[in-house]
Structure 1
Amino acid sequence: MEIGAWVGNNGPATAAHMLSVAQTADRTGLASVWAADHVLWPVEYESKYPYGGDKYPADFNQPVCECVTTMTWLSAHTQRVKVGSLVIVVAQRNPWLLGRQLATVDVLNGGRTILGAGTGWLREEFEALGMPFEKRMARTEEAIALMRTLWTEHPVRFRGHYFQADPVGVLPHPPHGPIPVWLGGNSAGAVARVGRLGEGWIPYGLTPTDLAHGWDGVRRAAEDAGRDPTSITCSLWAPITVTRPGAPLPPEGLPLQGPPGLLVERLAEYSKAGLQHFVMFNFCAPEATAEQVEQIATEVLPHVKGLVGRGAA
């Protein structure tokens, strides 16, 4: 099992906090660092948050450092870790530009980029950006196909329903071939999409039982599409808290909270469900995040890095 860390680019974290998290991860043997994405927040919205509760646990007053820009900055300040997006709402962006941006990041960081991609859930965000919410699934799939084409072919000729171009040059190419695409989402449709299209699956906040169920769906969809399921990485982004005697207790209901030994046991349960790459949502204050990342790297990672998730190659 590998472990990565979200740097906390939405919320109160400063550049110094994010840099501390990324460099701690890079130094202590973690596998990846990640930046989240939202282009904007409507002041009022009716869309239901799909990952628990009616509303996203933040609002329009929360700053969000732009995802690709943050990935570039993280790449410049690290040497080894993968740098990923968690997740970019692909249908809100021009794929020619997004593909070029990500290829450039990948050249600059030596091939360490992961595109975490999602279809989005916030209708009002799409409307403000002038993007059709109802067509986001089809636009996402076509955009991924286009980006993979411009990452591997030269010149590029593309004929899709939403995007077309006669031969054009879009260089540079990523140095190690197409950037891996890890698709987010917990729904049955998202699971099927991963099996057909993704190099990885990165859902949010699932229990081991729910992860196992979804991972079975990914593997079936991959087989139905004629793909090798072992070529797909099973990942998970979820809150985690290392508790210490006398420290304030985190909210109830978080499956990954407790002392390091208990976290090792819980991650072993996730590994049996299929988990190969865990991404930490550090449930603590920004100024404490780097310390928690180091604790997990030194007291948890050594005990789980030998675990092989169910269905892994």
Structure 2
Amino acid sequence: MQFVNQNKWFYRKFYKKSGKIVLGFKNLYIFPNLFGLYWILTLITIYILGINLENNLTVFISYLMIIVFVISLFLTHFNIHGLELISINQKINFANSEIKYRIILDTKKIRNNIKLKFLNEENKFIFIEKIVERKIESLPIKGKKRGIYNPDIIYGESSSPFSLFNCWFYWLPIENFVVAPQKKKGKINKQNFKGNKNKNKNFNNKNGDQFINIKPYREGERKSSIHWKSMARSRILLSKNFANENTNDKWLLLNKNLPIEKALEHLCFEIYNHYQNNKVFGILLSKNEFITPNKSEKHYQKCLTMLAYFNHEKI
């Protein structure tokens, strides 16, 4: 049950933005649910009938219902009192697919029948039947466009054990989540020079070093090292690596002949494919936006994050 409109200014009084929250008297709210209200109405009716009929058994039943009601109030509150929720680093998600936002639930005792959701996600509760120890849960979020997002407010509730009360809380976690472009197979520009395989052509600099690879051009490098042929294809300034530099890099380049979002989707597919196949790769989006080749998981996450951040106005 949500008794507060999140669009109202006073709604901010009901939650706190933090890395973790320990549920207690300051952040838990409790009120009879619909069944609880019917329970109250029933016990009042029974009590009035018992008084009017002068029937002690009927009055005793109404007293017993009051006791159960009060006990339920405390048991429902203490079912989630002391539960700790912790915000953690999020896995990178992809555009237009369901997003999973992970949180840690930590407890020192058994908790039963807890529901969690983001307030802006209608009918997307996750139901946790039992929490015995520290565990990770994932809350679903509807698919979004690529970008970096702050999470919405998490709403949690429990009515265990007698379902007479709803005890609920609000929490705004601090960890944002990254949505990379959708993965779509398509044409991208690649540069992968492992050596000079063409014996009929000489790719040497003035010192006689053999040209084997390219890399992003940096200010201060010689103009003679610019790889003009690659620049004509990708419209990105690149420079040549020579054999004495002992490099063997593979670069995935943004295809600037396509609309930016489509090009990013194709590049995202290649990044995912290279990572899954344990291949070394780097990405080059613009003159100043690139990541040098690697194949670690951290490198993979970094590449996808750059795609999510990338602004087409910078091209």
TM-score range, shorter chain: under 0.3
TM-score normalized by structure 2?
0.20
The structure where strand makes up a greater share of residues is: 2
Task: For CA contacts below 8 A with separation 6 or more, give which structure has more relative contact order.
Answer: 1
TM-score normalized by structure 1?
0.20
